[in-house]
Amino acid sequence: MECNKNSNLKNCTCTYSPCSRKGLCCECVAYHRKNGEIPGCFFTKNGEASYDRSRAAFVRDHDKR
């Protein structure tokens, strides 16, 4: 499967500008999974802005709803 970076960037909610994986969803998911983290696009807007990609932060972020 070919990754369409330009199309993915339209929907990418990650605000970490220097990220080399921005728009490359499969690379982003693999990177965060390897580090025991969750990609920013799984968080709410406020949760993503914290840059804390831990599972605990994800649970806290979604418990607020």
For residue range 14-47, list pLDDT tens digits in order: 999 899 999 999 999 999 999 999 999 999 999 9
pLDDT given for residue 3 in this prediction: 80
The pTM score is: 0.83
pLDDT given for residue 1 in this prediction: 57
- Alpha-helical (H) ranges within the chain are 5-11, 25-34, 45-49, 55-63
Closest to 50 (Cα-Cα) out of 31, 37, 36: 37
Residue 44 amino acid letter: T
Residue 2 has pLDDT above 80, yes or no: no
Q: HSE-up of 48 (CA within 13 Å, CB side)?
A: 13
Report the C-alpha gap between 47 and 55 in whole angstroms: 12
